Structure 1
Amino acid sequence: MFVSPEDRRIGIVFQDYLLFDHLSVLDNIAFGPSSSGLSKNVARRAAQQWADDLGLGGLEARRPPELSGGQAQRVALARALAAEPALLLLDEPLAALDATTHVHLRRVLGEYLERCPAPRLLITHDPTDAFLLADRIYIIEGGRITQSGGPDEIRRRPATSYAADIAGTNLFGGVCDRGEIAIDTTGFLLHAADTKTSGSVLVTVHPRAVALHPTEPHGSPRNTWLATVEAVEHLGDTTRVLLGGPIRLAADITPGAAAALGLEPGAEIWVAVKATEVGVSAA
C-alpha cells in the first residue's frame, strides 16, 4: 500500500542533518507539526518547547548555514521529535555534540523514548548511548549481527571480544575443568566458583570485580597475579586501568584509589579477583 510522504509520520535524524536551508531553526522544527495539520501558531509553540528543551534558545531565527555542527544536529533531533512520529529513525543523533551537551541531550532523548509508543531504531558507535537508551541492542561486526539482546544480557554474557569491550566486560576463551580454567593462548589458570561447567567456555570478569594492590594480597581471593599497567584512563568518577601480563584485562577503580596506588604505565601491580566474580558459560 502506497502512503504519500507527508502522511508517513516517520521521524528521521540523518548523519548529515539535511535541514531546510531556506527555513529558520524554529520553522525547521515546526515543519513536522505543521505537516501533520496543526495550525502555524500551535506548531511554532511546539517547536519552541523543543528548542528550549534541546538548548536552542536564542537561535530560533538563524538559518542552518549559520549554525555549528552541534547546533545543526540538535535542530535535526528537535525536528524529528517534534513531529511525534509513528516511526523514529536516529542515525548517530548525538555524535557531533560536546561532552556536556551530549549528556544533557541523552537524558532528554531517553525521557522521550520512555514515553514514546512508536517503534524506534537508534544507530550509534557510542556504547554508552546504546546501553542507556536501548531496550534491545544489536551488535554488528564485519557487516553481520554477532549478538542481540537486552543491555543487561549483553553485559552479563557478551558473545565476542568486541561485545565485551563495548560492554565494559573482560572476556576470555578457555577450557574449564571443575572450576579451574586454562585461558586460551596463554594457559594461565583462573579459578571460578562454578564447578559444574566443563569443556570450552567463555569467561567474563567485570572491571569493577578486579581489585588492585601494591603488594601481594592474602585472604579470600583465589586468583592473584602480578600485572603491568599498560594505560590509565580517567572516566569521570571511574578510573579504568588497562593491565598486561599473563592475561590482559581492564580494572575499574576510583580516582582516589588510583592516586593512592600511584598508577602509571609500566608500573607493576598485584591483581586479585574472587572466584565468585569469574563468570563461566559454555562456548
Structure 2
Amino acid sequence: MTSHATPAPGSPAVLRYTAFSTDPLGGNPAGVVLDARGLDDGGMLAIAAELGYSETAFLTGLPEEGAAGGDHGRGYTIRYFSPKAEVPFCGHATVATAVALAERTGPGDLVFETRAGTVPVTVAEEGGTLRATLTSVEPHVTDVARDDVQEALAALGWPAADLDPALPPRIAFAGARHLVLAAASRARLADLAYDFDRLEALMRRLDLTTVQLVWRASAEVFHVRDPFPVGGVVEDPATGAAALAFGAYLRALDAVAGNAVLTLHQGEDMGRPGVLTVELRAGDPRVRVSGAGARIPDGG
C-alpha cells in the first residue's frame, strides 16, 4: 500500500518517479528527495515506509558541498531506504533521481557517491524522452552452496528440475548481492507464489538484496522477476541493481560475447512492464544499465 500524503510543513518534498518505463503506470516507482540534508536516518526511513515503494532515494550531499564530480559530472551523495531498512545501492531509484535532476538542470553527466561505491550516470534526451545510463561499481560473482540453493527452491516452491542447467545458480554483485536462479520455462517464471518469511530468512543469512529469477527468451533477451521480502515488498517491478549483477553473472559464465547489449523485460507479470538495457564492454569489468524515467503525477 502506498501513501500519497502531502508532506508536513517544513518537510522535504518527496517526488515520485517511475524508472525503466515512459509510462507512469509501468516500470518501478521510486521516491526521490532532492535535498535530504536536514533528515536523519529515522526521518529517511519514515518517509520510505510511508511512501511504500521498494526504495526511496535521498540526496544527502549536493555539488556545492564538494561531493565527488569535478570533470566527471555534477556530484551528489545518495542514500537509499526500503520501507524496512537502508540498502547500499538501488539501480531504479538512481535512474529516477537522475531523470528528476535532468528535468531541472538538463541532461549530462552525474556522479553519485553510494554506500557501495562511486556510480557515474549519464542522462541523455532521445526523442523527447530522458534516458539514464548508470555504470556499476566493479562486480564479482561467487558460487553458492548447494544447501542454500535447495532452501531457496523450497521457499519458492520450485522443483530443481524447473531450473535451466545452462545457467547455474550463482551469487552476483554489482553494488548489491543477488542470488541468480534461471527458470527452464516462461511458465515457471510466471508462476510466482513463495513463502515470504522463509525466503526472507535465507536472504538475510546470505546478505541478499533480491533473488534474480530469469528466463532466457533468446541469446540476448531475458524475462526477469525479483522477489524482495527483505525490503518489505513481495516483488520489485524493475531492478537496476539486479540487472547489473546479472550482466556480470553472464560474463562470468562466458554466456555472452565480449561486447553485448541485453534486453531485460521485467514487471509484465505484475502489470507494470518495464525494459532494462544492459551493456557489457570487452575489457571493462563494469556493467552498464539504462532506461527511461517518468514523473508520476500527484494522485497517480
Question: Whose relative contact order is higher, 1 or 2, with alpha carbons under 8 Å and at least 6 apart?
Answer: 2
User: What range describes the TM-score normalised by the shorter chain of this pair?
Assistant: under 0.3
User: Under a length normalisation based on structure 2, what TM-score does the superposition of the two structures give?
Assistant: 0.23
Relative to its length, the structure with more helix (as a share) is 1
Relative to its length, the structure with more strand (as a share) is 2
Larger C-alpha radius of gyration, 1 or 2? 1
